[in-house]
């Protein structure tokens, strides 16, 4: 049984999953939206919302935790700027829109963007 198992494997091993999510997060914050599959978008949403919440608190330790995950200084600055918009909001910073199915394997495509 899968009780308390929280990781969606996405058909990848741990290091590949971590690299995938890191790259998708950087792309998401650079472009403010990204088109991907539904499963990847749901995992990306968890990461993005945690990073914005960390940036909202604004301590040095929080900035270092964001940089530890991303290792991309320009994106860390961008997250800090974006988080200032959401000071009054308690979570729910992203929306997922379904946009159809991928042609090759009929995977459900979605667009995830900031509210």
Q: What is the CATH number of the domain that holds 32?
A: 3.90.1030.10
Does residue 1 sit within a domain?
no
Mean pLDDT of the chain: 95
Q: Is the pLDDT of residue 2 over 90?
A: no
Q: How far is CA 62 from CA 53, 82, 89, 109, in A?
A: 9, 15, 18, 32
71-86 pLDDT, tens digit each: 999 999 999 999 999 9
Is 7 a domain residue? no
Residue 6 domain-assigned (yes or no): no
Q: Can you give the residue range of the structural domain that contains 20?
A: 14-114
Count of domains forming the chain: 1
Tell me what the mean pLDDT of segment 46-58 comes to: 95
pLDDT recorded at residue 4:
87
- The verdict on residue 9 lying in a domain is no
């Amino acid at each position: 049984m899968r009780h308390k198992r929280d990781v969606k494997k996405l058909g990848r091993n741990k290091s590949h999953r971590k690299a995938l999510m890191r790259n998708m997060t950087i792309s998401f914050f650079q472009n403010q939206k990204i088109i991907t599959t539904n499963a990847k978008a749901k995992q990306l949403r968890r990461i993005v919302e945690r990073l914005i919440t960390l940036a909202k608190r604004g301590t040095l330790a929080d900035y270092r935790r964001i940089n530890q995950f991303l290792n991309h200084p320009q994106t860390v600055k961008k997250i800090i700027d974006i988080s200032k918009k959401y000071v009054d909001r308690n979570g729910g910073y992203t929306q997922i829109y379904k946009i159809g199915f991928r042609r090759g394997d009929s995977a459900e495509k979605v667009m995830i963007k900031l509210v």
